[in-house]
Amino acid sequence: MSILIKGCNVLDETQPDGYASNQNILIEGNRISKITHERVSEKGVDRVLEGQDRLAIPGFVNAHTHSPENFPKATKEKLPLELWLQDLFLIGGYSPRDIYLAAMLGAMEMLKTGTTSVLDHLWMGDGLAPEGLDAAMQAYADSGIRGGVAPLIENDDQVMQAAAAVRPNLQPLLDNHESMSASEYIELLDGFFSKWHRAEDGRLLCFAGPSGFQWCSDELLQGSLDVARRHGGGWHMHLVETKVQAMVCFELYGKSATAAMKERGLLGPEVSLAHSVWLDDADLDTLAESNSRVVHNPASNLRIGSGFAPIIEMLERGITVALGTDGSASSDNQIMFDAMKLAALIHNLRSTDHRRWPSSRDVVRMATANGAAALGMEGDLGELRPGKLADIVLLDTKTLLFTPFNDAFRHLCYAENGSSVHSVIVDGRLVVEGGRVLTANEETIAEEARDAWQRMYRELPGLREKTEPLVREFELYQQEMMNRDFYLNRY
Ligand SMILES: [Zn+2]
């Protein structure tokens, strides 16, 4: 299969307005073979796309999300992470079909708004099972998006243990939480990698996905990293998202989670760490030295009040910072343009020295090349250059948001919201054209998803009522911790 995009503008950092005009892009197989101002013969080309009034950009990488949350979007508010989690996990009972539908919803939403790759940190309501993992992978195979799945695993909730130690009434919240053993998880993960890693000509990827340092045993952390390394895959985890998590880690280990991870050999270029909010300067030095990757999720950090991740300090240290939407239960959509706009704006409030603020070029790099690095595809993806994989988004520059068309990077960060996305190519295949998904029937998937969610959503009020007293007790613990002094402040 070959595609020629004729006479488009191509995003280019080296150009004064951020793009090179009147370029022809030739795609052969799944890679870009040519980008040139010179005429390219249409002879033997399977598909020609007109590029006039189009801006070609590398497709975005959503480097952290949770696809099952594509159902419970807009279901809660005014909750910090600890209480938000209690509400989120009330709903169990995702069947493999539900997992498929939720992943498909997200994949379609992302493709239509210019995201061509996703790292899905996949939790499942009633526990991890191979059928659910297969369902998510099948959704990514069918939708045509470049999909990485990190099954979310956890077996040791040290935050709840700390809470129950001072508030014994919380013991039922610990007892309710059954999990698989570390060795069972590791066996499951090994089978998952063997079946799916680099399937669909390399378009599907597997990751190990421990939920967080404070939620997993050492055996699970180390064992899952060993599986990922053995299969040449990545290891993806949430790293200290909240003040409570940071304080619990300090109480338990006498040092930060990042310092404890360093001691255990849990850092490196194959490691990507979502959030990384409550890190101090020494922690940031540790991440930089180990070449570990960070995934920033500004919408979620704001929505559930976790704090400001020290992104300015990370960029100044040369840490590879990627960008994610996080799950829609904490950010409400999967639109990377929203994540970019927030990332480009919120850190301006963290330094009175405006010269330190992230630039639109920094932020677009976070959403593209740095996202590729978080997927372990550094150098292969995230830029429009001959030899790179052909994941390309064409934006219509005749829309109101692009009128008049000035600097391409600034339009992408500050003005555009995804509505100008016209066509999308992933791995050399056209998957969105004229704003419509070509790989799936959006209406029927959406209808089935509405029905599936309706069944689950009906149960929510009853479940909330039942757990209310325990949640109120946990809220007291959470508030006590939040009101305590701590050496670090990320608000
Ligand atoms: Zn997350």
21: domain CATH number is 2.30.40.10
In a domain, 182, yes or no: yes
Same domain, 326 and 411: no
- What is the 95 CA–ligand 1 centroid distance (Å)? 21
Same domain, 53 and 197: no
- What is the 371 CA–ligand 1 centroid distance (Å)? 15
Q: Which are the contacts of 190, defined by CB distance < 8 A and separation ≥ 6?
A: 227, 231
Q: How far apart are CA 296 and CA 343, in angstroms?
A: 8
- What is the 123 CA–ligand 1 centroid distance (Å)? 10
- What is the 440 CA–ligand 1 centroid distance (Å)? 26
In a domain, 276, yes or no: yes
- What is the 152 CA–ligand 1 centroid distance (Å)? 10
Say if residue 404 is preceded by a cis peptide, omega within 30 of 0.
yes
Contact 418, 58 (CB under 8 A): no
* Per-residue model confidence (pLDDT) at position 91: 85
- What is the 78 CA–ligand 1 centroid distance (Å)? 18
In a domain, 195, yes or no: yes
* Residue type, position 344, single letter: A
Same domain, 48 and 168: no
Same domain, 287 and 399: no
In a domain, 272, yes or no: yes
* Per-residue model confidence (pLDDT) at position 157: 95
Taking the model in full, what pTM does it have?
0.98
Last residue of a domain, one of 374, 409, 429: 374
- What is the 65 CA–ligand 1 centroid distance (Å)? 6
When divided into structural domains, the chain yields a total of: 2
In a domain, 470, yes or no: no
- What is the 300 CA–ligand 1 centroid distance (Å)? 8
- What is the 387 CA–ligand 1 centroid distance (Å)? 33
- What is the 118 CA–ligand 1 centroid distance (Å)? 13
- What is the 9 CA–ligand 1 centroid distance (Å)? 35
Which residues, in sequence order, are bridge partners of residue 433?
Answer: 436
Same domain, 330 and 410: no
* φ/ψ of residue 365, rounded to 5: -60, -40
- What is the 70 CA–ligand 1 centroid distance (Å)? 13
Beta pairing class for 115-122 and 60-65: parallel
- What is the 434 CA–ligand 1 centroid distance (Å)? 32
* Per-residue model confidence (pLDDT) at position 32: 98
Structural domain harbouring 394: 2-57+386-437
* Residue type, position 444, single letter: T
* Per-residue model confidence (pLDDT) at position 174: 87
Same domain, 174 and 307: yes
- What is the 121 CA–ligand 1 centroid distance (Å)? 7
In a domain, 480, yes or no: no
- What is the 120 CA–ligand 1 centroid distance (Å)? 9
Q: Per the structure block, which two tokens stand in for 309?
A: 């991740």
**Helix residue ranges per DSSP H, 3-125:** 81-88, 96-112
**Chain centre to alpha carbon of residue 355:** 28
* Per-residue model confidence (pLDDT) at position 179: 82
- Give me the tens of pLDDT residue by residue for the chain, a chain 491 residues long: 999 999 999 999 999 999 999 999 999 999 999 999 999 999 999 999 999 999 999 999 999 999 999 999 999 999 999 999 999 989 888 999 999 999 999 999 999 999 999 999 999 877 899 999 999 999 999 999 999 999 999 999 999 999 999 999 999 988 877 789 999 999 999 999 999 999 999 999 999 999 999 999 999 999 999 999 999 999 999 999 999 999 999 999 999 999 999 999 999 999 999 999 999 999 999 999 999 999 999 999 999 999 999 999 999 999 999 999 999 999 999 999 999 999 999 999 999 999 999 999 999 999 999 999 999 999 999 999 999 999 999 999 999 999 999 999 999 999 999 999 999 999 999 999 999 999 999 999 999 999 999 999 999 999 999 999 999 999 999 999 999 999 999 99
- What is the 305 CA–ligand 1 centroid distance (Å)? 14
Same domain, 111 and 17: no
Same domain, 53 and 63: no
Q: What is the CATH number for 150?
A: 3.20.20.140
- What is the 66 CA–ligand 1 centroid distance (Å)? 6
Q: How far apart are CA 218 and CA 235, in angstroms?
A: 15
Last residue of a domain, one of 437, 458, 475: 437
- What is the 303 CA–ligand 1 centroid distance (Å)? 12
In a domain, 186, yes or no: yes
In a domain, 90, yes or no: yes
- What is the 328 CA–ligand 1 centroid distance (Å)? 10
Q: How far apart are CA 60 and CA 393, in angstroms?
A: 9
- What is the 10 CA–ligand 1 centroid distance (Å)? 33
- What is the 332 CA–ligand 1 centroid distance (Å)? 13
Q: How far apart are CA 455 and CA 94, in angstroms?
A: 11
- What is the 107 CA–ligand 1 centroid distance (Å)? 17
- What is the 333 CA–ligand 1 centroid distance (Å)? 13
Strands (E) across 265-336 are located at 271-275, 293-296, 321-323
- What is the 339 CA–ligand 1 centroid distance (Å)? 14
- What is the 385 CA–ligand 1 centroid distance (Å)? 32
* Per-residue model confidence (pLDDT) at position 125: 79
- What is the 188 CA–ligand 1 centroid distance (Å)? 21
388: helix, coil or strand?
Answer: coil
Q: Cα dist. 294→7, 17, 200, 237 in Å? A: 36, 29, 27, 10
Same domain, 288 and 426: no
Same domain, 137 and 182: yes
Same domain, 106 and 140: yes
* Per-residue model confidence (pLDDT) at position 127: 83
Measured in residues, the chain has a length of 491
Same domain, 370 and 397: no
* Per-residue model confidence (pLDDT) at position 93: 85
- What is the 277 CA–ligand 1 centroid distance (Å)? 12
Element (H, E) at 209: strand 204-210
Q: Cα dist. 268→263, 281, 312, 315, 382 in Å? A: 12, 18, 21, 17, 21
